[in-house]
Structure 1
Amino acid sequence: MANNYDIIVSGGGPGGIAAAVSAARQGKKVLLVERYGFLGGGATAMLVNPFMTYFAGQRQIVKGIFQEVVERLTRLGAFGNSRMPVTPWAFDAEMFKLVADQLCLENRVEVLFHASVVGAKKRGKEIKALVVATKEGLKKLTATLYIDATGDGDVAYFAGAKVEKGRRQDGLCQPMTLNFQVANVDLDKMPSREEMTAKYRAAKANGLINCPREDVLFFYTTNPGVVHFNQTRVLQCDGTRAADLSMAELEGRRQCWEFFQWLKAHVPGFEFAYLQKMAPQIGVRETRRVIGEYVLTEEDLMSARKFPDVVACGSYPVDIHNPQGEGTIMRYLPEGEWYDIPYRALLPLGIDNLLIAGRSISSTHEAHSSLRVMPIVFAIGQAAGTAAALSVAAGRPPRQLDYRLLQKELLTQGAFLGAE
């Protein structure tokens, strides 16, 4: 390992991958720090699948590095499935790991696996070093600029940035979900989502299932006879507390096993199925949001607001799972519309050499529920990495970077910023 880097990216999920690769492609010395032994974050460790929409009507609004990932997965036969006419964006999580590795290796991103950020050394308004926990003990890592792609705002929090969690009235965050996959399913006998939901609700009423989710949500996968379930719901746990996460993992697996046993005993097509995979960790929808120079709101989303300093776009609806029980709020943008994400939302207040990439950018609880999905996170990460590289090259902090130069470079990289 080097003594110093141009840019250190913390968190190897979609946002971190895009940030690290985009910065490295501009000739910067980049270290990507990841707590697991593989990249992918939500796509692999949390087994989130498929990609949520990256279209506004017929127009694709997330491109760039995300599109590269899609094309690489497609060449591997690991993307899309004809059994999914509504959301055909399933992908193979194991192949995603390989694609992420390849992108980093090809672009000379140095990767440090099995390392977790546990602190930050700060002087004035600048981070001087990160403290990471490894098997060797605590290590100090230094860079000119830092990117927080942890999804939880860990770096920003340790550096003393202003953060918020949960909804305004009580601070509760969206519930967690342990995703799982069931194999050897007879897809021809398997009922529709509506039919399975009716059976599920009857089973809940009869005491066979104890889960606060109101319906059944499954997706076909890229692998024959394998069905993906986004089904469990664990309430009122804080994804930044180890004790809460521990309880959530246990409860998530309990719900998973209970639901699978019910499938096998009562749902056609699952008679000979087996539980193939549970996510390595529970899926966390929401934790910290880092307050920046602009706070993106639900009104911005619903009005399809456009910003002069746009660096990414999104069209996924406001999607809030009830933190206290059954129910999910879905509020859709006007047909064919998208919203802009301004560069200012990536710039945390009070810290000059830090950029935020991913779901923890500056937003309200409601806006966060849309921008948290993986395609949008890829776009935000690419913007953060590109901004960091340009800032290092210019020798000035990211908030002094001319956003027009950033936009020009992002467009050169194939990103979508609304004008084509």
Structure 2
Amino acid sequence: MLNIIEHGKVYDLIVAGGGISGTISALSAARNGAKVLIVEKNGYLGGALTACGVGPMMTFHAGEKQVILGIGEEIVQNLKARGYSPGHVRDTTNYISYLTPFSTEGMKIILDEMITEAKCDVLYHSFIAGVDFENEEVKSIYICNKDGLTSYKAKIFIDATGDADIANYCKVPCKLGRESDSAMQPMTMNMKLYDVDSKELRNYARENSEKFPRLNKDISLLDSAQTLSFIGFDEEFKEGKRKGELSIPREDILFFETSVPGEFIINTTRIIEHSGVDAKSISEAEFIGRKQCEELYNFLVRRIPGFKNAKVVITGPSIGVRGSRQICGKYTLTAEDVLDRKRFENVIAHSAYPIDIHNPKGEGTMSVHAKSFDDYYSIPYDIMVVNEFKNLLVTGRCVSATFEAQAAIRTTPTLTALGQAAGVAAALAVKYGDTRNIDIKELQSLLIKQGSYIEI
């Protein structure tokens, strides 16, 4: 017989998921007076940044203008002050203007410290196992961990699971992947290498700039950049596939230098036609990802300049999932909203990251940029709002957006801004009683006062 433990305390807010968006939700709510519990499946915060080897953070900027600030920028400055990040540096792939390398271990420490200072309660190694709901209200969630199965209550809940797990348990309408066929973007197993000769890489790119078309032959970028980022080696990659050295359904190599000179994150594996919300499927993806990492490492050492003496630091502890479920919320953000830079009266964040879709079926990556690096778009509060419940918000990559729009707003800096807005909104909802009808002007005013960048 299943024994469910009743936890006596009622929180103002429970945040399910300690990824970057969930963590910042908890921080911002606590700073606005809420008593918060954050529930995280790993033994640390940060989500994909710390559990999947994802990096760098891309991007806080639109050209030279920084359009994402707030707690996300506070984290960057804390990392920088401790030597865990160089801050915002030029992107030598020329995909965006600035990116932000960081130390994975430093990120864990900084987030632990910030969440402790905010007096949030944390349950690590804990999973959301179910939800008790009635009418328009989430009553409690069931948390599975070493204590057993425990019921926790709160006035407000934030689903920051990445996969809309709470929303799905509550039967909130969700869609999966691409609208036409439910296909999801590929997963990626990142790999971190050290002892890469960045000087040799830099010299090779300088002498063979035609192999790196995104440089636009602007070699000066290579000389001025603090860290190196590359996408290219298309011919070498194609030859490796022809000879049977690589089985990765991709067409090029993408890698980024971390805050440690000579240490690179390799973001190149591609696991297609697997699901982040199917336990068997995602388990298979982990196997495939590690196999692809081994192939890729051997290929890099043999064929790519600068990698001859490289050694593996780690493969991602967990595979990286770009997208799975999206809630069907009060408003659904579209590609047209992003590209036309639609203005919203209930704007709570801005971003300049392009639409970035890795082919769900194989080779190819579709990137749709705005006309200029200086352009940025607005994100409305209502993509986090669940119509069916008065005390549930959603943040992170599973907000209400089309497949194309989600491909633009899924990256870390944007999710820091969404997380801060969700946390402040949750604190207001504790006071007013309904996440669907909070005072948007008050939310915007508080966000601006607390460091967020919003154009009203």
TM-score under structure 2 normalisation? Answer: 0.89
Letter in 2 for 1:205: R
Q: What does residue 39 of structure 2 align with?
A: 33
For the residues of structure 2 that align with 1:379 and 1:83, how far apart are their CA atoms?
21
For the residues of structure 1 that align with 2:83 and 2:265, how far apart are their CA atoms?
17
Letter in 1 for 2:154: A
Letter in 1 for 2:340: S
Can you list the C-alpha shifts for 1:315-337, whole angstroms capped at 9, x where unaligned?
A: 11000000000000000123222
For the residues of structure 2 that align with 1:108 and 1:117, how far apart are their CA atoms?
22
Can you list the C-alpha shifts for 1:144-169, whole angstroms capped at 9, x where unaligned?
A: 00000111101111111010011111
Can you list the C-alpha shifts for 1:174-197, whole angstroms capped at 9, x where unaligned?
A: 000001111111222234446633
Q: CA deviation at 1:274?
A: 0.9
Q: Does residue 1:275 correspond to 2:312, yes or no?
A: yes
Q: What does residue 237 of structure 2 align with?
A: 200
The within-5 A match list for 1:41-80 is: 41-80=47-86
Q: What does residue 332 of structure 2 align with?
A: 295
Q: CA deviation at 1:269?
A: 2.1
Aligned partner of 2:352 among 315, 320, 338:
315
Q: What does residue 164 of structure 1 align with?
A: 175
Aligned partner of 1:179 among 184, 190, 211:
190
For the residues of structure 2 that align with 1:118 and 1:128, how far apart are their CA atoms?
14
For the residues of structure 2 that align with 1:13 and 1:179, how far apart are their CA atoms?
17
Letter in 2 for 1:161: V
SS of the equivalent of 1:27 reads: coil
For the residues of structure 1 that align with 2:267 and 2:75, how far apart are their CA atoms?
23
Structure 1: runs of 5+ lacking an equivalent = none
Change (3 A) 1:84 1:62: closer
Alpha-carbon contact 1:84-1:220 (below 8 Å) kept: no
Can you list the C-alpha shifts for 1:220-264, whole angstroms capped at 9, x where unaligned?
A: 111122111101000011101110111000000000001101112
Can you list the C-alpha shifts for 1:294-327, whole angstroms capped at 9, x where unaligned?
A: 1100000000111000011111100000000000
For the residues of structure 2 that align with 1:405 and 1:225, how far apart are their CA atoms?
47
Aligned partner of 2:274 among 237, 253, 257:
237
Letter in 2 for 1:51: M
For the residues of structure 2 that align with 1:209 and 1:177, how far apart are their CA atoms?
15
For the residues of structure 1 that align with 2:231 and 2:362, how far apart are their CA atoms?
20
Q: What does residue 219 of structure 2 align with?
A: none
Can you list the C-alpha shifts for 1:81-123, whole angstroms capped at 9, x where unaligned?
A: 8795454411111100011101100110111101011211001
Letter in 1 for 2:132: K
Change (3 A) 1:181 1:328: same
SS of the equivalent of 1:189 reads: helix
Q: What does residue 24 of structure 1 align with?
A: 30
Alpha-carbon contact 2:387-2:436 (below 8 Å) kept: no
Alpha-carbon contact 2:86-2:102 (below 8 Å) kept: yes
For the residues of structure 2 that align with 1:21 and 1:71, how far apart are their CA atoms?
16
SS of the equivalent of 1:251 reads: helix
Q: CA deviation at 1:268?
A: 2.8
Change (3 A) 1:84 1:328: closer
For the residues of structure 2 that align with 1:195 and 1:299, how far apart are their CA atoms?
29
For the residues of structure 2 that align with 1:400 and 1:259, how far apart are their CA atoms?
51
Q: What does residue 366 of structure 1 align with?
A: 404
Alpha-carbon contact 2:192-2:314 (below 8 Å) kept: yes
Query: What's the % identity of the aligned pairs?
Result: 39
The within-5 A match list for 1:89-100 is: 89-100=100-111
SS of the equivalent of 1:386 reads: helix
Q: Does residue 1:383 correspond to 2:418, yes or no?
A: no
Aligned partner of 1:403 among 425, 429, 440:
440
Give aligned pairs, total: 418
TM-score under structure 1 normalisation? Answer: 0.97
Q: What does residue 334 of structure 1 align with?
A: 371
SS of the equivalent of 1:23 reads: helix
Can you list the C-alpha shifts for 1:3-39, whole angstroms capped at 9, x where unaligned?
A: 1100000000111111000000011100000000000
Q: What does residue 222 of structure 1 align with?
A: 259
Aligned partner of 2:383 among 345, 367, 380:
345
Q: Does residue 1:130 correspond to 2:130, yes or no?
A: no
Q: Does residue 1:14 correspond to 2:25, yes or no?
A: no
Q: CA deviation at 1:348?
A: 1.1
For the residues of structure 2 that align with 1:194 and 1:279, how far apart are their CA atoms?
20
Letter in 2 for 1:103: M
Q: CA deviation at 1:208?
A: 1.4
For the residues of structure 2 that align with 1:167 and 1:83, how far apart are their CA atoms?
32
Q: What does residue 132 of structure 2 align with?
A: 121
Change (3 A) 1:2 1:373: farther
For the residues of structure 1 that align with 2:53 and 2:122, how far apart are their CA atoms?
21
